[in-house]
């Protein structure tokens, strides 16, 4: 049995978690900096780094206590320490990576550097370790929109990605334009409940023949519509915009799943917390007899349980990471 301490500081969540053998979550603590960044309408990198420095110690201490572990005992409380080393904000990443390496040295246990995107993929596996493969995973977050074919755990092929805005970025930008709060995704999700998703026929980007996505035209269409119709109902705009995003995401995933002959369709990343996306995605998988995996909301948005899980799998396949590993802000999923 190996307990791994996972650490996540790639953006504006300071998170630590203890996961046993890659699948049993003993604790998962997330401290969000949303309030610090809200008045700026987006994440301010320097503020994020400083807040991570203040929060990382207490958040790790909480995660160990919640997992019933004693950091002051003679034996190390965990068997390895894993941290996100990219992609993300460099200053923010460095806080998690440096802390993880320091703890690994003090406790004399392996350090594992984890790709944040791979961690989001493991969020799906966290709840179902015997995921039917091959799987197609739709990974939709604030920074990325990826369709990934997963032949085996740790064996990925990126089928497509966004050619402009990420899905979460589109949610955040449209929400800001509509005067909703930050982050915009959850606000649009909330407001759209009272709107009519067919009120406006916003464009579904045509990127036929590829597995790529595009959301900047949709965003512009929303802005132009609101400019032309200043009295328009915000709930209708939010619901129609959300429907356009969900339609494209699900349609593209269906095509990819067909092509790959996928046994399961999985959803990951912060936008996977979206109520409408979760329900349409699950219905699409059911209609085609594919297993559907939609993680609990707490494991869709940034968290450290997914980092600990990915770290456990990486440790088994590749062994520990060198202690001179640094932060890689533009790390890709390969
Ligand atoms: O994965 P995540 O927590 O951080 C990144 O790695 O980017 O994703 C954050 C993104 C934000 O753009 C946020 O607006 C979006 O996920 N998001 C949502 C919802 N909850 C979070 N988008 C739509 N509906 C939601 N309920
Ligand atoms: Zn993320």
**How far apart are alpha carbons 38 and 216 in whole angstroms?**
23
Average pLDDT, the chain: 95
Ligand 2 centroid vs 306 CA: distance in angstroms?
10
pLDDT tens for 238-263 read: 999 999 999 999 999 999 999 999 99
Is residue 332's pLDDT more than 90?
yes
pLDDT digits (tens, 9 = 90+) for 82-95: 999 999 999 999 99
CB 264 within 8 A of CB 131: yes
Ligand closest to Cα of 116 equals 2
Q: Is the CB of 268 under 6 A from ligand 1?
A: no
Please tell me if the CB atom of residue 270 comes closer than 6 angstroms to any atom of ligand 1: yes
Does the pLDDT value for residue 40 go beyond 90?
no
Q: How confident is the model at residue 322 (pLDDT cuts 50, 70, 90)?
A: very high
Neighbouring residues of 42: CB distance < 8 A, sequence distance ≥ 6? 172, 182
C-alpha of residue 172 to centroid of ligand 1, in Å? 8
Q: Summarize the confidence of residues 256-282 as an average pLDDT.
A: 97
Q: How confident is the model at residue 153 (pLDDT cuts 50, 70, 90)?
A: confident
The DSSP H or E segment spanning 9 is none
The predicted model scores a pTM of: 0.94
Give yes or no for residue 183 CB within 6 A of ligand 1. yes
d(CA 311, CA 81): 8
Tell me which residues have their CB within 5 A of the ion that is ligand 2.
Answer: 141, 302
Does any ligand 1 atom lie closer than 6 A to the CB of residue 311?
no
Q: With contact defined as beta carbons under 8 Å apart, do 331 and 85 qualify?
A: yes
**Does any ligand 1 atom lie closer than 6 A to the CB of residue 185?**
yes
- Axis-axis angle for helices 167-177, 184-192 (nearest 10): 70
Give me ligand 2 centre to Cα 210, in Å. Answer: 24
Indicate which ligand has the atom closest to the C-alpha of 166. Answer: 1
Beta carbons within 8 Å of 118's beta carbon, 6+ residues apart: 154, 156, 310, 314, 333
Where would I find the H helices in the chain? 34-38, 45-66, 90-107, 116-127, 167-177, 184-192, 216-228, 234-260, 275-287, 297-300, 305-318
Q: How confident is the model at residue 202, as a pLDDT?
A: 96
- For ligand 1, atom 3: residue with the closest CA: 301
Q: In what order do the strands lie in the sheet with 13-20?
A: 24-32, 13-20, 3-8, 80-86, 111-115
User: Tell me, what's the pLDDT at 172?
Assistant: 94
């Amino acid at each position: 049995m190996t307990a791994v301490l996972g650490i996540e500081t790639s953006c504006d969540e300071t998170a630590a978690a203890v996961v046993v053998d890659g699948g049993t979550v003993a604790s998962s603590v997330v401290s969000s900096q949303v309030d610090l960044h809200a008045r700026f309408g987006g994440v301010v990198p320097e503020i994020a780094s400083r807040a991570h420095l203040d929060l990382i110690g207490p958040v790790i201490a909480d995660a160990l206590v919640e997992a019933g572990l004693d950091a002051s005992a003679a034996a190390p409380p965990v068997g390895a320490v894993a941290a996100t080393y990219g992609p993300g904000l460099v200053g923010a990443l460095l806080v998690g990576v440096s802390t993880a390496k320091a703890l690994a040295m003090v406790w004399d246990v392996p350090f594992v550097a984890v790709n944040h995107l791979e961690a989001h993929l493991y969020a799906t596996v966290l709840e179902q370790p015997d995921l039917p493969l091959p799987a197609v995973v739709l990974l939709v977050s604030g920074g990325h929109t990826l369709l990934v074919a997963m032949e085996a755990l740790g064996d990925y092929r990126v089928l497509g990605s966004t050619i402009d805005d990420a899905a979460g970025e589109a949610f955040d930008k449209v929400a800001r334009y509509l005067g909703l709060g930050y982050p915009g995704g959850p606000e649009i999700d909330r407001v759209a409940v009272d709107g009519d998703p067919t009120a406006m026929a916003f464009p579904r980007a045509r990127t036929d023949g590829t597995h790529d996505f595009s959301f900047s035209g949709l965003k512009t269409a929303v802005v132009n519509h609101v400019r032309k119709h200043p009295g328009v109902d915000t709930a209708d705009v939010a619901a129609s915009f959300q429907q356009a995003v969900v339609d494209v995401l699900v349609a593209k995933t269906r095509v990819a799943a067909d092509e790959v002959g996928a046994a399961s369709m999985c959803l990951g990343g912060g936008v996977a917390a979206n109520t409408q996306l979760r329900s349409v995605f699950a219905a699409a998988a059911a209609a085609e007899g594919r297993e559907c995996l939609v993680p609990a909301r707490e494991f869709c948005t940034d968290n450290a349980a997914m980092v600990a899980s990915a770290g456990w799998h990486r440790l088994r396949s590749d062994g520990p990471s060198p202690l001179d590993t640094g932060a890689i802000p533009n790390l890709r999923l390969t």
